[in-house]
Structure 1
Amino acid sequence: MKKSTIVSIVVSSLLISPLVLARHVQADEVGSNSVEPVLATSTNQESSPDKSVSEQVASSENAEVSKESSTENVGEKAVVEQAIDSNQSIGEKESHLDKAVPESSNVLDKAASDKGTVPEKPVADTGSDTEKNVDSRIESNATAVDSSRESGNDRSATRVSNPPKTTLADLSEVTGQTRTEEDSKKEATISEAVNQLLKWASTKEGQVGSTDQDRLAFAKSLGMIDQKAKGSDPVTDLVTMVAAAKKLHAAYRAERKTPLFMNGRAQPIFPFTRGDNPEHYSYENSDIVRYVVYVETDYDTDGDGKPDLVKTFVQVPKAAVKGDYKAPTIFEASPYVTGTTEERTLEGLGLKEGGKFDMAKLYTKPDKRKAVKEVSTEEVAKTTNPKEWYYVNPRESSADYTHYDYENLNWYNYYLVRGYAVVTSSGLGSKGSDGINTTGSDLEVAAYKSIIEWLNGKRRAYADKTSNREVKADWSSGNVAMTGLSWAGTTTFGVASTGVEGLKTIVPAAGIASWYDHFNSQGSPLDTGASNDLSWLSVYTSGRILDKDDWDKIKDYYAAYITKLNELQHKDGHNYNEEYAKRDYTLDAANLKAAPLLIQGLNDDNVKPKHFELMLEAYKKAGIDPKVLLHQGNHVYPSTRWAGTTVAGQAFNDLMNQWYSHYLFGLQNGIEHLPQVTAQDNLDPNKWRRFDKWETENKITARAYSKREDVTVSSDFYGTGENWTTRNQDAAFHSSAVSASYAAPVDRDITIKGHIPLHFSAAFLKGDKKHAHVSATLMDVSDEEFDVVKEEITYDKDGYSTRTLEKETVDEKGDWHGSNLDSLPVKEYKTHKVKSVVISRGWMNLANPDSGFNSATSRHSIDLKENEYHNYTMYLQPNLYTVKKGHRLVLTLHAFDPDYIYYADPYEVKFKTDSISATIPIVEESQSLLLRYQPNEKDTEYAKLADRILAIAKKNPAVEKDNQQDKGSGSELKPGGQMDQQPPVGRDSMEFRKEQKVEIANLEHKENDASSKEVALSREVRLPETGQKANSWSIYGMLSLLLAGLWKVIGGRKEKK
């Protein structure tokens, strides 16, 4: 073979290999259902569905980039699930279409719109004669580029083979920068062009970023450059870059400061001034107006004869206060942020249980206050003491840490500089507010609803608690979004269930849909002691104690309320009752109107994934298409004040900016056409998958098989000598006295998607019938270690657990915020090696055979009788989890789950083997599996038993008496037996807040890990970025095989010669 021929083959192969690989990968990831295509960010929409916040578009400016504007065909269908790499934003298709096309639009002043007047445009900068000349030359040279553009705005695909070069001299003609003879010869890089153009557009130092990295990020946000562009790349589209710079230039110099929309999102053109320095903050010197009002509610929950007032903290760009535009609001309703007590019982507050309390009095509606005068926002803001929103909480501080509230003061700065207002309230019973905290009840929800009504002009708020001076939200457009983590995510769904006008969207992260399922599961508690009381969260957040005089007025009244709440909550054991119904937001699904983006960590064992499913089902009943974002974190909000994250390569905050721009400003950017589900992969956190719906019709029908007709499990870890801290790892490979284990090999990759109904027939044998709790796990097991994103759980000698998720900093300043805000680190999860991992688990009380998936089905218990069988369906938590070919699915059955509850008095439960089956929802085609019993090595008799004929699946009668003596219990139970390592009484649901405080302390002390690597303990507080790294190695591998093959061919030819 000639050398030239060999070279040709090698070169051709190198060129075609990535395409072959891409097709191969794409083929592997095509599913069986269809998904709605993700629309391009729309850039040519001039109208807005919300007349009060219409876009203002300068047609002459749009003409410069109209050739790039395009909206994708909604009718086209893509594959059911798309695996997308980390460099592809949520608004892009798999072809990596760049939607970054400039769009200029300023928001109309609502008042002007109401009057029918033409809104005032930003002051146009006509530019110098030199600029006009260079514009003309640039536009004429760009014809070839523009004519080759395809729909979809794929700039990376529209480069011509020999685009006209852009020199530094070209840039200097636009920006007026001094140039040299060399400038006309030197080709300009993107970084040089971006720096010059943005600095030319700006009016002050630091306005467009302090580093090259910041300015490149800004340019991508504006649509000035391609999302994948590097600073060192040559400039190939100066037309678009100049057009974008001109819009920014005009916006900065506009007489009326209004939000700027380009590339389908609000841009960071508003300046920021900090509010966490009370000694130096003032209204006059701050670009962000901050003040406090007291919103009047309907009810008198503290019994003082007046409607409760709830303290509400407002942050809003000064331009809105001055009347330049009407601002929409991002509202966080969090009982935590104004200060917590760090206590969980009345005793911790120095109070005693007792006293009589009539719950009906909480719903008393006194006459409303009469306003004596009206004062402006500016008047109130000038007189509000900054210490109203920034103060030390001694109860949350320690010797080496000082805690300041409002703790979320700086959490939403990203949105303030883009023109949004931010409102925060801790609601009833918090520091500065009236009332008492009622832990998620309808009264709590009504109070938060009142704040939205104030923002809509339908309710009164006052400048203080005594003067009756009314303050209107005169800067507000009336459009509101609610968001937050945990309880702050819960309130979003609660308020949405009221159907309140003006609430346009909710973005709950790990929010509770039904408080019953937060504390219980199908009749079984998920915690013990005070941590299983609704009241403990009320005690924890009763911030009125921070003001002694205020607290003294209500403390005895409050103690009586808590006493009554405990009584009513537990009067039916761990069953659903009226108190839980007041806190079950799914019951009011018909009222839901606000568009939802539901965020959930798939490794969250605090607020479990079932809650997002309950929300999703409620929205479907309301006829609304919910969107779901599932990540591999635990109890976290994806982005925080100390670190950012990405979703499929797009910054989480940027995604939310698109979401809020659409739902709050009315911008038509296509974000509403996201697929229903976007989910991070468990095996590779760099991979994100999309599904057009959460439900799947495909399933694995898994049945248990054993040579024995039944199996008995004990709760007695002490008496049986089993180690409870390794029970799951042990059960992954064999059964024991405390677990029954069944396994089936998986012959192809499968993706579990949804909750798992587990059916079985069981009988209580002996022991303490008051606590006949059973639990189950489904595990992914392999004989060889494999990589997965999952919490590692370790236990100390006292039984306390530590949960870790390993992560690293992938970019110290990669989370760009814009304006004069600092950029933050981007964090990324790491996988770790395991041989077994719990996919899902469930819990149930044998006394609740009729309990189903929905909370309200757990109303009734039966009196258990020994050796009497009942049929049960336990619902294991939903997950999205991929099991690799060659692994095993292992189903295990246990008594109580010591990670959640602990009972010293042992009991035994017997399961009928042939009744055990699981319906496992999967993405791939349906199949059947036989889960074979895994005997313990000590169970030498099992191998000697004859195989049984597999019974035909049938439903057992609801109640069946077993008259035979149990053969599974070999010894008497030992009442009160103690484990060597006892689980602590109750899990600490506040671990995520402890972690937040650690992060805040680290941030304040500027402690940076030199290795950029850290371990997040217990409930993680953020979700890191993702990045695709595997594909490049796959390409190298393919090329290596190709070259090896060629070498062999050449060698063979030589041998023949």
Structure 2
Amino acid sequence: MKKSTIVSIVAASLLISPLVLARHVQADEVGTNSVEPVLATSTDQESSPDKSVSEHVESSENAEVSKESSTESVGQKAAVEQAIDSNQSIGEKESHLDKAVPESSNVLDKAASDKGTVLEKSGADTGSDTEKKVDPRIENNATAVDSSREPGNDRSATRVSNPPKTTLADLSEVTGQARTEEDSKKEATVGEAVNQLLKWASTKEGQVGSTDQDRLAFAKSLGMIDQKAKGSDPVTDLVTMVAAAKKLHAAYRAERKTPLFMNGRAQPIFPFTRGDDPEHYSYENSDIVRYVVYVETDYDTDGDGKPDLVKTFVQVPKAAVKGDYKAPTIFEASPYVAGTTEERTLEGLGLKEGGKFDMAKLYTKPDKRKAVKEVSTEEVAKATKPKDWYYVNPRESSADYTHYDYENLNWYNYYLVRGYAVVTSSGLGSKGSDGINTTGSDLEVAAYKSIIEWLNGKRKAYADKTSNREVKADWSSGNVAMTGLSWAGTTTFGVASTGVEGLKTIVPAAGIASWYDHFNSQGSPLDTGASNDLSWLSVYTSGRILDKDDWDKIKDYYAAYITKLNELQHKDGHNYNEEYAKRDYTLNAANLKAAPLLIQGLNDDNVKPKHFELMLEAYKKAGIDPKVLLHQGNHVYPSTRWAGTTVAGQAFNDLMNQWYSHYLFGLQNGIEHLPQVTAQDNLDPTKWRRFDKWETDNKITARAYSKREDVTVSSDFYGTGENWTTRNQDAAFHSSAVSASYAAPVDRDITIKGHIPLHFSAAFLKGDKKHAHVSATLMDVSDEEFDVVKEEITYDKNGYSTRTLEKETVDEKGDWHGSNLDSLPVKEYKTHKVKSVVISRGWMNLANPDSGFNSASSSHSIDLKENEYRNYTMYLQPNLYTVKKGHRLVLTLHAFDPDYIYYADPYEVKFKTDSISATIPIVEENQSLLLRYQPNEKDTEYAKLADRILAIAKKNPAVEKDNQQDKGSGSELKPGGQMDQQPPVGRDSMEFRKEQKVEIANLEHKENDVSSKEVGLSREARLPETGQKENSWSIYGMLSLLLAGLWKVISGRKEEK
């Protein structure tokens, strides 16, 4: 061989090897970084109450081994033939609504003791609230809540010992597919069996999935294969696979199309047709029927003398409209989705404040309309045009983005193909509806309640707003679930508090329980300017402005209402009053009946975690056991139109499908036995923890200590030279003029679980007493960086804060939706390396010493007197957060919190050191901590001071005059010189909607085939960090060089011959 040839081959090999290596690294990363199942479960055997989850796991694994090693007389082929020929397929009891459903043998219910379940490495119990420890990666939670392993409730009954190999020929006998001689010799894999059986069961292409990954996911949903099965595994239980395929085969060909239930959940057997294609949509050509009705309410909020009609958008499988079955409904009541104004004040709408308004007139009940005739759903659906639910909103669009409403049109497609109906309304004052938006009031709630009553057949709806032609929900079973994010989560809880019949369950995500605590905290506002007005959200969602003629009828009336609302809301400052009471749903706790699954992001700084606690307490008053799902996200719904996520290894939508299958279809799948709390870990978001209750009996009693008897903090960031944008990071390690910092080392891992009462005695010293706001934070601090899920906060030059919580894609097509729907990416939260993170924070007005945890306790304030001490209890936000051994807990005290409010006129507050204490609820055993004052480097005198003898903890008198001269400040407070940083202006609570629109725009780009450049960039972004970036030309060049070298070898050999 010539030297030049050898050199060419070596060069090509060296060039291409990094690419090959990168591919191997990528494959390894996918294997090691994928989210493995977390919860230890088993449904193959009955669990005894006195066994721990880890014991069940071990016995389950041993049982599997024993099944494999046992002997059985029936051979694989005979068993398959028996399953094929049998008139009753395995699991038939759970297939249709008119069939009996077996009771649940739920491992979770029995294995989770009163001490809870921790899904992490094993360890000993350390206290009465300590959880049981389990290996975190054992089996998928999907089976944990199933009543049976449908099809095949007892898989051991059909499993044979040392089963003969399943060949491709065996599959061909079932599916009728042509076979070759080789098929009798080749062992079939799970992937091959799934593909053949599902395609055999289907009636059209794409019905069971377009990819092997989709079909494997479908097979797992059906219970056809184990949750941990891989496509490359050999087939070991063909009987179960055939039985499942046979049931699916029958369902697709049934004369009456009814929902199919297997493996404890509704299956995606209904076809999907898009509603966002106006040019091609028609009733005749659509498998999903879409139409609009106008539901009549009781009240006349717009003063036109008639009961308000609210536009209601319906999506339902055509089979239900044809009468094949009665469909339950998933209802989202969101003022946003029909179109927003993007304005926050009357001036933004071109209106002025003023005019007289009588709030009592809003509650006028005019006579109801008289229906002149009744029209069918089919008639209305044929007459409804796509423009009624799919139209451009110019106010939400921009030069480079076109926004379409209803914006949630495709958010619930997953459920439509499983037989659920989906109903949406933006309620009073929205585009197409009557009335005016009243921001969460009892009137708003009553209007949404009316829609559920229509679905129950107890209220009238009309085909349009003028003809009085009545339309009944003749396709509806009357069973309704409500869900949604933010305001849609709020209306969910609000409607539940009415006790309306037919509302079987609610799943509020980041919903408001009491509007007072959304705008305020213990007398202190959580925003400034218009953003602290109830009215701004009404202005933002007054979609009637999108129809000019309609808007002109009410705009002056509406301006007078907003003027009056602003007056009444603020007549008592930032105290709780009658307007807030109309929007406090916890007051109606006695009416609650619908089973709740409360979803909350623990990093949500918009609708704060306190609200899920208020909901939880309300449900307990009603005698109902609520379930809580706590994730590490911020103001988001766990799964969205553009990406999915997992809960303990199970797809979130799959979990919800089980929940709705039980509460709406009546399927006995055991989901109701979930422990009360399921929570995502803050240190490792792939781990989830479960507790049988939220409350804990254990606590850390933490007391503050300083060599000084008191400490003074100032609100004057500018005058003191302190940077407000880094105040928390700074206070984590030392005190300053604007913060008092106290730290204690943690000598063991602790998990904080609940809200934190902080007790202190404080006196207002100098400044504007109208704004005597104080705040506090509890932080996790370490000298070394540590990984944690954390919301990143950045500030722009104008003082606006932006919060981001990064996710990473762990599977590009892992969020399977079924039917002919596309699968979406699976995304999980990323951790960040930090030295400090805020665990919890709280806010309070010193003028509200009697304010407690409940909203109504903040209804009274006092006139503050300078230098007069009073006792306070501030409630820091609830969290579930693990602090690692060796870290420090740091408690900091401040004046106002510049992330929320800003006051230019400075003031000072003094705290008595010995009065400062916190009761920190924890999972582990009780303990005490001494939080020592952290001086800054400028405070050189502190080290010279003598230690003080700790005072015996006692409650100070309610009022105590401070006779000592203030040593930390002069006689007059003046604003300091201006710094480079701008004053804080707070946060934008609509940030989550901006992020949604970005995601929608990105999704539209993907669906419309983005440019090759964008595709290339996207692909490069998914490569592992090996320093290599894929480039088609570089690959082409490498391969060309390699082929050239090989050609030289061949040519050289020919020449030698």
Q: 1:960 to 1:62 in 2, by over 3 A?
A: closer
Q: 1:904 to 1:877 in 2, by over 3 A?
A: same
Query: 1:806: how far off?
Result: 2.2
- DSSP 3-state at the match of 1:179: coil
Q: 1:867 to 1:721 in 2, by over 3 A?
A: same
Query: 1:807: how far off?
Result: 1.9
Distance (whole Å) between structure 1 residues aligned to residue 713 and residue 139 of structure 2: 79
Distance (whole Å) between structure 2 residues aligned to residue 786 and residue 111 of structure 1: 33
**Contact 1:686/1:1028 (8 A) holds in 2:** no
**Residue deviations 1:88-125, cap 9 Å, x none?**
99999999999999999999999999999999999999
Is 2:522 the partner of 1:514? no
Query: 1:800: how far off?
Result: 2.2
**Residue deviations 1:565-590, cap 9 Å, x none?**
00000000000000000000000000
Distance (whole Å) between structure 2 residues aligned to residue 390 and residue 927 of structure 1: 58
Query: 1:128: how far off?
Result: 61
Query: 1:159: how far off?
Result: 7.2
Q: 1:528 to 1:873 in 2, by over 3 A?
A: same
**Contact 1:679/1:689 (8 A) holds in 2:** yes
Query: 1:680: how far off?
Result: 0.3
**Contact 2:777/2:892 (8 A) holds in 1:** yes
Query: 1:163: how far off?
Result: 2.4
Q: 1:812 to 1:116 in 2, by over 3 A?
A: closer
Query: 1:981: how far off?
Result: 2.1
Distance (whole Å) between structure 1 residues aligned to residue 713 and residue 458 of structure 2: 60
Distance (whole Å) between structure 2 residues aligned to residue 925 and residue 30 of structure 1: 39
**Residue deviations 1:838-880, cap 9 Å, x none?**
0000000000000000000000010000000000000000000
Distance (whole Å) between structure 2 residues aligned to residue 857 and residue 916 of structure 1: 22
**Residue deviations 1:531-589, cap 9 Å, x none?**
00000000000000000000000000000000000000000000000000000000000
Distance (whole Å) between structure 2 residues aligned to residue 202 and residue 267 of structure 1: 13
TM-score by length of 1: 0.83
**Contact 1:597/1:628 (8 A) holds in 2:** yes
**Contact 1:72/1:151 (8 A) holds in 2:** no
Query: 1:503: how far off?
Result: 0.1
Distance (whole Å) between structure 2 residues aligned to residue 80 and residue 689 of structure 1: 41
- DSSP 3-state at the match of 2:279: coil
Is 2:84 the partner of 1:84? yes
Distance (whole Å) between structure 1 residues aligned to residue 429 and residue 915 of structure 2: 50
**Residue deviations 1:1010-1051, cap 9 Å, x none?**
999999999999999999999999999999999999999999
- DSSP 3-state at the match of 1:32: helix
Query: 1:980: how far off?
Result: 3.6
Of all paired residues, the percent bearing the same amino acid is 96
Please, which runs of 5 or more residues in structure 2 have no aligned partner?
A: none
Query: 1:795: how far off?
Result: 1.9
Query: 1:972: how far off?
Result: 3.6
Distance (whole Å) between structure 2 residues aligned to residue 918 and residue 228 of structure 1: 46
Distance (whole Å) between structure 2 residues aligned to residue 884 and residue 17 of structure 1: 42
- DSSP 3-state at the match of 1:204: coil
**Contact 2:303/2:362 (8 A) holds in 1:** yes
Paired position in structure 2 for 1:639: 639
| The 10-residue stretch of structure 1 (215-224 or 999-1008) with the greater mean CA deviation from structure 2 | 999-1008
Distance (whole Å) between structure 2 residues aligned to residue 1047 and residue 952 of structure 1: 91
Q: 1:438 to 1:310 in 2, by over 3 A?
A: same
Distance (whole Å) between structure 1 residues aligned to residue 611 and residue 291 of structure 2: 35
Query: 1:798: how far off?
Result: 2.6
Q: 1:291 to 1:1017 in 2, by over 3 A?
A: farther
Distance (whole Å) between structure 1 residues aligned to residue 62 and residue 217 of structure 2: 22
Q: 1:888 to 1:1036 in 2, by over 3 A?
A: farther
| The 10-residue stretch of structure 1 (433-442 or 983-992) with the greater mean CA deviation from structure 2 | 983-992
Distance (whole Å) between structure 2 residues aligned to residue 129 and residue 870 of structure 1: 34
**Contact 1:191/1:216 (8 A) holds in 2:** yes
Query: 1:803: how far off?
Result: 2.0
Query: 1:828: how far off?
Result: 1.3
Q: 1:10 to 1:403 in 2, by over 3 A?
A: closer
**Contact 1:740/1:892 (8 A) holds in 2:** yes
- DSSP 3-state at the match of 1:79: helix
Q: 1:149 to 1:753 in 2, by over 3 A?
A: closer
**Residue deviations 1:457-496, cap 9 Å, x none?**
0000000000000000000000000000000000000000
**Residue deviations 1:275-300, cap 9 Å, x none?**
00112110000000000000000000
**Residue deviations 1:404-443, cap 9 Å, x none?**
0000000000000000000000000000000000000000
**Contact 2:602/2:634 (8 A) holds in 1:** yes
- DSSP 3-state at the match of 2:137: helix
- DSSP 3-state at the match of 1:58: helix
**Contact 1:62/1:104 (8 A) holds in 2:** no
Distance (whole Å) between structure 2 residues aligned to residue 514 and residue 768 of structure 1: 29
Query: 1:914: how far off?
Result: 0.2
- DSSP 3-state at the match of 2:313: strand
Distance (whole Å) between structure 1 residues aligned to residue 782 and residue 141 of structure 2: 61
Q: 1:49 to 1:248 in 2, by over 3 A?
A: farther
- The correspondence of residues 503-902 of structure 1 with structure 2, limited to 5 A, is 503-902=503-902
**Contact 1:37/1:76 (8 A) holds in 2:** no
Distance (whole Å) between structure 1 residues aligned to residue 1012 and residue 924 of structure 2: 39
**Residue deviations 1:299-341, cap 9 Å, x none?**
0000000000000000000000000000000000000000000
Q: 1:114 to 1:780 in 2, by over 3 A?
A: closer
Distance (whole Å) between structure 1 residues aligned to residue 317 and residue 114 of structure 2: 22
Query: 1:963: how far off?
Result: 1.4
Q: 1:1012 to 1:251 in 2, by over 3 A?
A: farther
**Residue deviations 1:952-985, cap 9 Å, x none?**
0000000000111111225741148655423443
Distance (whole Å) between structure 2 residues aligned to residue 150 and residue 1045 of structure 1: 58
**Residue deviations 1:329-362, cap 9 Å, x none?**
0000000000000000000000000000000000
Query: 1:801: how far off?
Result: 2.1
- DSSP 3-state at the match of 1:874: strand
Query: 1:792: how far off?
Result: 1.5
Query: 1:1006: how far off?
Result: 1.2
**Contact 2:786/2:835 (8 A) holds in 1:** yes
**Residue deviations 1:165-219, cap 9 Å, x none?**
1000000000000000110111000000000000000000100000000000000
**Contact 1:48/1:55 (8 A) holds in 2:** no
Q: 1:67 to 1:14 in 2, by over 3 A?
A: farther
- Count the aligned residue pairs: 1057
Q: 1:288 to 1:165 in 2, by over 3 A?
A: same
Q: 1:1013 to 1:162 in 2, by over 3 A?
A: farther
- The correspondence of residues 57-136 of structure 1 with structure 2, limited to 5 A, is none
Query: 1:622: how far off?
Result: 0.3
Q: 1:951 to 1:365 in 2, by over 3 A?
A: same
| The 10-residue stretch of structure 1 (960-969 or 560-569) with the greater mean CA deviation from structure 2 | 960-969
Distance (whole Å) between structure 1 residues aligned to residue 638 and residue 972 of structure 2: 51
**Contact 2:685/2:789 (8 A) holds in 1:** yes
**Residue deviations 1:337-388, cap 9 Å, x none?**
0000000000000000000000000000000000000000000000001100
Q: 1:388 to 1:138 in 2, by over 3 A?
A: closer
**Contact 2:776/2:892 (8 A) holds in 1:** yes
Distance (whole Å) between structure 2 residues aligned to residue 98 and residue 1032 of structure 1: 57
**Contact 2:718/2:977 (8 A) holds in 1:** yes
Q: 1:546 to 1:244 in 2, by over 3 A?
A: same
Is 2:376 the partner of 1:376? yes
**Residue deviations 1:703-756, cap 9 Å, x none?**
000000000000000110000000000000000000000000000000000000
**Contact 1:216/1:231 (8 A) holds in 2:** yes
- DSSP 3-state at the match of 1:839: strand
**Residue deviations 1:793-837, cap 9 Å, x none?**
122333222322222111111000000000001111110100000
**Contact 2:107/2:144 (8 A) holds in 1:** no
Paired position in structure 1 for 2:198: 198
Q: 1:1043 to 1:1019 in 2, by over 3 A?
A: closer
| The 10-residue stretch of structure 1 (433-442 or 95-104) with the greater mean CA deviation from structure 2 | 95-104
| The 10-residue stretch of structure 1 (238-247 or 1029-1038) with the greater mean CA deviation from structure 2 | 1029-1038
Query: 1:53: how far off?
Result: 34
Q: 1:803 to 1:596 in 2, by over 3 A?
A: same
Q: 1:849 to 1:1045 in 2, by over 3 A?
A: farther
TM-score by length of 2: 0.83
